[in-house]
Amino acid sequence: MGIALTDDGLLPAGTDVAEVLARGDVRELTAVWNTYGRRSFYQRALDERSGLTEKARQGLQELTEELAELAEVSPVQALEANRRLAELLTGRRWYVMQDAREHGATWTEIGAAVDLTKQGAQDWYRRKIEQQEKYAPDVHGRDSARAVLKDDPTAPPTPGAT
C-alpha cells in the first residue's frame, strides 16, 4: 500500500483512514492507532485551556496547528486498527515459538513469554501449525514445525505423526 507517514510515523491529514484499515500493513495500522492517540491527547489539552498562562496558550496554538496536520481517526477506527494489529502479530507468533524451541527454549519459558501455561502454549502452537498445514501446505515446513513438539518429552503425541 505504501502510505507516506509523518516523521513521527503518524497519518497525515487527508489520509483515507478507511482505506488504511481495509488494506494496511502493520506499519500503517500502527500509524492509525498512534494517530488517534496523538489527536486525542492534543484535543484534551486544547479542551483544558481555561486558566492558562500566555505561554501555555501559545503552546496550545502549536498543538492546534499540529492537530490540523494529522488525519482524523475515530475511536472506532482506532479500535479496529488495534484488533487487526493484534491478529496480525498473534498470527505470526507460531514461527517465533518454533524458533524459540529450536534455540533451546522450553515450553514453560515460551508459555510464560506469551502469558500461557506450558500446555496452553503447546496447544496454541499445535493449532496454528495445523492451520498452516491446511491452508498453506506447499509453503509450510511441516516436519520442522512438528519437530519442536517431538523434542519435548512432555508433549502429547502429535495427531497423524508416524
Written as one string, the DSSP assignment of 50-75 is: TT--HHHHHHHHHHHHHHHTB----H
In angstroms, the CA 46 to CA 73 distance is 17
pLDDT tens for residues 28-50?
999 999 999 999 998 888 887 66
In angstroms, the CA 120 to CA 28 distance is 31
Nearest to 34 by CA among 49, 48, 15: 15
Cα 8 off chain centre by: 18
Per-residue pLDDT, 161: 44
Crossing angle of the two packed helices 75-91 and 93-102, in degrees rounded to 10: 30
Q: Is pLDDT above 80 for 7?
A: yes
pLDDT tens for residues 92-112?
898 899 999 999 999 999 999
Per-residue pLDDT, 152: 55
Q: Where are the domains of the chain?
A: 17-89, 92-150
pLDDT tens for residues 136-161?
777 667 788 888 887 554 455 545 54
| Cα four-point dihedral sign 71, 77, 78, 80 | negative
